[in-house]
A = this chain, B = another copy of it.
């Protein structure tokens, strides 16, 4: 009961727009927040951040929390079903309160951990884009903000790998982590990008998404992708703008590269996509 109370309080604290879930905001006016309480103006140290890896699918799961908030509210980006115990254990050990289990898109290569997390920690809300076509507790769109404590993630629509891909970017404000961090899903991989030949993928759309929504971020923005297959853990916008072997090309060359990848049919897609389309609520009778 205490957990529920804390969660409700947390949500209401961050209410910005009544037409949206109370803890999601579409306001771009960061200044409003400073009127709501006493916030530090320098909070990069507030962010507790962990990058977690699933070796089987080469998926990165990200744990973010506001460690200076009394509730230590936390979220997971792209959790994997098979690493659920590891992730919930570290959350417990660090004394965090998991609030959101978020996905950047409907994955085709692993089953999201969101549903299992919700069955273990019922207060957790699943988050995905409206355009994904997947079920979830909360749908987000371009410009929404997802608050956890005094920190927030901004939602950027980055379709192209799938129709519903989004990128979560840490806030553009002095009390948010510096440099900014972009959780790009499969839109931008380190020196690569996600394939565009299924799930409503479009190389033309991906090119436009990356160049308008990700490569326009400051050069020092850290890029944390959903996968890496070569052992890289992080890149930056500046690096990918200079060295990404696909996305540095002009649009026509990029489309040609993507049309000729000749990749095999994803071995997990027939299991993963149906499961992930009901992400977050497959374990509930709804």
Contact = CB atoms under 8 A, between A and B. Distances in A.
Nearest to A90: B232
A93 interface: yes
A230 interface: yes
B86 A231 contact: yes
A231 B90 CA distance: 12
Q: Could you say how many copies of this chain the assembly holds?
A: 2
B239 A86 contact: no
B83 A231 contact: yes
A265 to B, nearest CB: 23
**Chain A contact residues: helix, strand, loop or mixed:** mixed
B243 A93 contact: yes
B93 A231 contact: no
23 contacts: A50-B232, A50-B233, A51-B233, A52-B232, A52-B233, A53-B53, A53-B231, A53-B232, A53-B233, A54-B231, A55-B55, A55-B58, A61-B231, A83-B231, A86-B230, A86-B231, A86-B232, A90-B232, A93-B239, A93-B242, A93-B243, A94-B239, A233-B233
